[in-house]
Amino acid sequence: MPAIVLIGAQWGDEGKGKATDLLSDRIDYVVKFNGGNNAGHTVVIGSEKYALHLLPSGILTDGVIPVISNGVVIDLAVLFEELDALDARGVDVSRLLVSANAHVITTYHRTIDKVTERFLGKRQIGTTGRGIGPAYADKINRVGIRIQDLFDENILRQKVEGALEQKNQILAKIYNRRAITVDEVADELLSFADRLKPMVSDTSLELNNALDAGKTVLFEGGQATMLDVDHGTYPFVTSSNATSGGAATGSGVAPNRFDRVIGVIKAYTTRVGAGPFPTELFDEWGEFLTEKGAEFGTTTGRVRRCGWYDAPIARYASRINGVTDFVLTKLDVLTGIESIPVCVAYDVDGTRMDEMPVSQTDFHHAVPIYENFPGWTEDITGVRTFGDLPKNARDYVIALEEMSGSRISAIGVGPARDAIVVRHDLVG
């Protein structure tokens, strides 16, 4: 099973970083195919804790070749900061490959991200402020700057000039900000060119060759299904395809090469930023999940909104992504709850809906219909086999599996690298 896609099934922060790390001693390449440094993956290895944003989590395992493919938007200052920080901690970062077709995030993208959010007022998305949306907007508008442009100064200056022409008008006249000069942008980008050059390659060709040679490639999604620009809760989404289809367009590996799609899903639900969230809790149970699950953002430090597990969302994610296996994370966080509610369907203005409503307005009005499952009190963080979980925990997992559209192949029982119960092999 050489090509595996791993994606988030909810609104992000499901534990994709840890799941990637779990598989990484059996993979040869790990590819980040979407998003940028809006992602935040925490991986705990022994007493060491790593927070990754732009680099794929598999970089932490010796021998794995990390790849940033064409679908990513790259803030080069962040890339080098992250590489230097890992290098200083003894992680081998020398094999990183970067696609010549990936787009860059520059000063004006970050500025525009922040001013547009401020301008939106109450309609804010709550972005990470990293310039992600404006960089993807430029890509779609065909005024983006690509990694390969950094190696031809003439072309680069022309492209930056073209990109700034309209933006400076908008920044100055609408947002009352100072205009940005071509030189400040071009000079900053050029300052990275020499260091970047040896990493740049045709990553699509590299990955296809690797697959031809029988290597195992893991495509690690940033963000998640419900934040996908096409399939998520638009406009409260990120600006890339975080679903499994994005792995193909975002890497230049064809869809028929993917053997497996792993959906990472929490045993409850969280969301950062604005937008609809039917099972969100505003009572002490919300606080319980925030505290016990340590639900604070890895990237912006914001408190994550918390709620119960939402089975229609799990089914939706299963369908949209073609999930073959779920990794259910953070089951340990639910320990000690006497009766655990699970959303099985929605009530939308008096009508029962078993699947995600097609209209955003209906989704905003969706009131969860809950079924309750008996909880457990035993500490499960040391459990390593399914049979050793308390009966109620097993029943909870089996109930979720029946509702969620795909089998649950692994279960997270703690943040540590080995705190996992594997039911079905995820790679073989």
DSSP secondary structure string, 68-82?
E-TTBEE-HHHHHHH
Give which of 242, 204, 241, 203 is closest to 221, Cα–Cα: 242
41 carries an active-site annotation: yes
Burial track 337-367 (b if 16+ CB lie within 10 A, e otherwise):
beebbbbbbbebeeeebeebbeeeebbebbe
Task: Tell me which of 116, 238, 279, 329 binds ligand IMO, using CB under 6 A.
Answer: 238
Contact between 243 and ligand GDP (CB under 6 A)? no
SS3 43: strand
Residue nearest to ligand GDP (CB): 412
Contact between 130 and ligand IMO (CB under 6 A)? yes
106/240 with CB nearer Mg ion:
240
C-alpha distances in Å from residue 362, one per residue of 38, 121, 260, 280? 28, 23, 32, 16
Give which of 95, 56, 71, 80 is closest to 189, Cα–Cα: 80
Choice among 21, 28, 41, 109 that is catalytic: 41
Q: Which residues contact 231 (CB under 8 A, 6 or more apart)?
A: 225, 243, 320
Tokens of 287: 């606080």
Contact between 231 and ligand IMO (CB under 6 A)? no
Q: Which of residues 285-304 bind ligand GDP (CB under 6 A)?
A: 298
Task: Tell me which of 15, 35, 40, 222 binds Mg ion, using CB under 5 A.
Answer: 40
Rounded Cα–Cα distance for residues 235 and 229 (Å): 8
Task: Tell me which of 13, 28, 82, 332 binds Mg ion, using CB under 5 A.
Answer: 13
Task: Tell me which of 6, 18, 102, 104 binds ligand GDP, using CB under 6 A.
Answer: 18
Contact between 28 and Mg ion (CB under 5 A)? no
Shortest distance in whole angstroms from residue 13 CB to ligand IMO: 5
Q: Decide if 344 contacts 370 (C-beta within 8 A).
A: yes
Shortest distance in whole angstroms from residue 333 CB to ligand IMO: 17
Give the helix ranges, DSSP H, for 64-217.
Answer: 76-88, 107-120, 132-141, 153-169, 182-196, 203-212
Q: Which of residues 30-49 bind ligand GDP (CB under 6 A)?
A: 40-42, 44
Shortest distance in whole angstroms from residue 16 CB to Mg ion: 7
144/415 with CB nearer ligand GDP:
415
SS3 50: strand
Q: Decide if 334 contacts 340 (C-beta within 8 A).
A: yes
- Which region among 103-111, 124-132, 312-320, 350-358 touches ligand IMO (by CB under 6 A)? 124-132
Q: Decide if 126 contacts 186 (C-beta within 8 A).
A: no
Contact between 56 and ligand GDP (CB under 6 A)? no
Rounded Cα–Cα distance for residues 219 and 215 (Å): 13
365 carries an active-site annotation: no
- Which region among 33-41, 104-112, 341-349, 383-391 touches ligand IMO (by CB under 6 A)? 33-41
| Interacting residue ranges for ligand IMO, rule: CB under 6 A | 8, 11-13, 38-41, 125-128, 130, 132-133, 222-224, 227, 238-239, 272-273, 298
| Interacting residue ranges for ligand GDP, rule: CB under 6 A | 8, 12-18, 40-42, 44, 298, 329-330, 332-333, 412-415, 419
Active site residues: 13, 41
| Interacting residue ranges for Mg ion, rule: CB under 5 A | 13, 40, 298
